[in-house]
Structure 1
């Protein structure tokens, strides 16, 4: 498995071996690569200050536990799992969110699309009242503007926690479906549903904004 850091270590196994030997360069390379993404995800559970503390605790745990790492998942996934376990505990203390295991499609009250948009007054059910705008036809500068980015960030805060986690991993951090499932401990089906619903929620917000 190719390593998550630079070319000094061609595979995870080589990087892990260096970490177990106490190679400071290997540890710094891992921190440089994963620290910012860890903080971004942690901030979805807790305050920024608490997120930073949780990630610092994660790095301490990585150093202490690397010898016990069994390689059942990628090194990156393992590090994120450590952080998620830590930050969920802190989140319960802050009472800012529910544990991920209690959220998901079964408890999510938000449909992917407003049902009223799928009941055409003449064609009936399962027909769009107004067909969604094709994003690829929108000027790139509109999608990339600072104003639109701020709208997306604000919309992300309104998306249910479980959907936001999957959106962040898949669409912001560029994780694969398998990596996301392993890190969050969810099934492939659950991951697809959460991703679909999260994207639909964001699309609805952006449609409203771009159509104004």
Structure 2
């Protein structure tokens, strides 16, 4: 269903605020820009900014945090007979093919600059760490539920930590090579090989864990 006029106006305003804020952040640095300055530049009140983004960090971290449940969702929705690692491998390879920014294999200049900014601001870095912890927690809960793990069984926690660690390693390697000047198309084949290798190691370690 297409969104109504009111919803379209809200989405347009949200996008406008995001674009203005990101431009200011990239020009002057995240910590050097206030919400009041974003509001003035966007031609709205400070309260309007807060209505769309409860904290300044939400402007930058929000798109990333929308993916916090992604590994858990992929595992939960996988088809019968599919292993946990197999489902995540298929999903990650498809995301690479689509140049999904979540894989790090995306060379849109503004996305590269935003990702770099997130590693340079202490406030944003805290959000990155919180996102990773939340993503791992959600995956752990799904694994524990599906495998019927007993209370105190560390297996789901360890498995979730290892899986999300591999995802982070692949993503950061792709991003670093993109940031160093390579294009996404140039790196695609080697990124696929690295992913296949990494998920192969996971399969060796986790085997049929979580197979339905």
TM-score, normalised by the number of residues in structure 2: 0.32
TM-score, with normalisation over the residues of structure 1? Answer: 0.32
Structure with more relative contact order (C-alpha pairs < 8 Å, separation 6 or more):
2
